[in-house]
Amino acid sequence: MGISAQEIQQAFRARVKTLLCPMCDVAYSDAALDWAEAWQEGRRDLLVENNWQERDGPYKLRCELCGHRAWLDYFGWTVRSAEEQAADSRD
């Protein structure tokens, strides 16, 4: 018997909650994952509106405790600050 989409989603959320915020070293919460899903929904809308395509897009998290934003690397299961990257691109 196969694995359902809901089971995959639950496993993904559980795995992300083992990662720590790069700013405050606190594990990500359900609120951080809910924020990430809302961010992705907005990103998908933007892609559709502009007739853009993307296969494996970024996944952005926001720490519930400190508000710091970070990018999730799906393949390495690591997070890196999105805010430091944004500051670097402005320099």
Residue 88: pLDDT band (50, 70, 90) is low
Higher pLDDT residue, 2 or 59? 59
Domain boundaries, the chain: 5-90
Question: What does residue 58 show for φ and ψ, rounded to 5 degrees?
Answer: -70, 165
pLDDT tens for each residue of 2-31: 889 999 999 999 999 999 999 999 999 999
Proportion of the chain above pLDDT 90, given as a percent: 68
pLDDT computed for residue 30 by the predictor: 96
Answering whether pTM is above 0.85, one says no
Answer yes or no: is pLDDT of 89 > 60. Answer: no
CA-CA distances (angstroms) from residue 79 to 1, 4, 13, 36, 42? Answer: 33, 27, 14, 13, 21
